[in-house]
Amino acid sequence: MSKPRSIDQHRRFFAVIKATHDQWPESHPFQPDNTEHLRSWLLVRAGHHTVKTFHLDGDGDEFARLIPVIVATMLNKHAWCRAHGQELHVCVPESIAFDKLDHKAFCILNDNVDEVIRIETGLDPDRLLRETESAS
């Protein structure tokens, strides 16, 4: 049996997302609408996602622009798409629910998300948390 997930670690994860969102660089090409949008993007960038590939008979770029809108409307989820020739790759973040991700996997994901934040923004997640706590 795997070790149960830590509530403190779960809270830290969401605190990091909020603190990162609050300090997100305006110059970054991705501009999240809110913390949920940022969380989804970070999960995808950290590799915690599902990719579905569809074969297209027409211009894939046109379809790639429409799919995130359709997914958001129908499923209330964020999605990112890329056209690769006659293929469309649709990428959706996977769940981090307690019953979907055990402690060990969540620890790895937590580290991966922290690393994405460092690489993409130059911000240190632990420093962001300290600054947020000291401002409170």
Q: Write the pLDDT tens digit of every residue in 50-97.
A: 998 877 776 556 666 677 667 766 667 788 888 777 777 888 899 999
List Cα–Cα distances, 122 to 4, 24, 93, 115, 129, in angstroms: 32, 10, 23, 10, 15
Full domain range(s) for residue 96: 7-131
Q: Is residue 108 in a domain?
A: yes
- Whether 2 is covered by a domain: the verdict is no
For residues 31 and 129, give the distance between their C-alpha atoms in angstroms, rounded to a whole number. Answer: 21
Number of residues that this document lists for the chain: 136
**Model confidence, pTM:** 0.84
Alpha helices in the chain (DSSP H): 7-22, 35-45, 60-75, 103-121, 125-135
The distance between the two most distant Cα atoms of the chain, rounded to a whole number of Å, is: 55
Q: Which pLDDT score, from 0 to 100, does residue 64 have?
A: 62
Number of domains in the chain: 1
Q: Residue 135 pLDDT > 90, yes or no?
A: no
What is the percentage of the chain residues whose pLDDT exceeds 70? 87
Residue 96 within any structural domain of the chain? yes
Q: Which of 92, 110, 94, 93 is nearest to 5 (CA)?
A: 110
The answer to whether residue 123 is domain-embedded is yes
With respect to residue 1, please indicate whether it lies within any of the assigned structural domains.
no
Q: By the 8 A CB rule, do 48 and 109 touch?
A: yes
Q: At 1, is the pLDDT very low, low, confident or very high (cuts 50, 70, 90)?
A: low
Residue 53 lies in a domain: yes
Whether residue 29 is contained in a domain is answered as: yes
Each residue's pLDDT tens digit, 93-124: 999 999 899 999 999 999 999 999 999 999 99
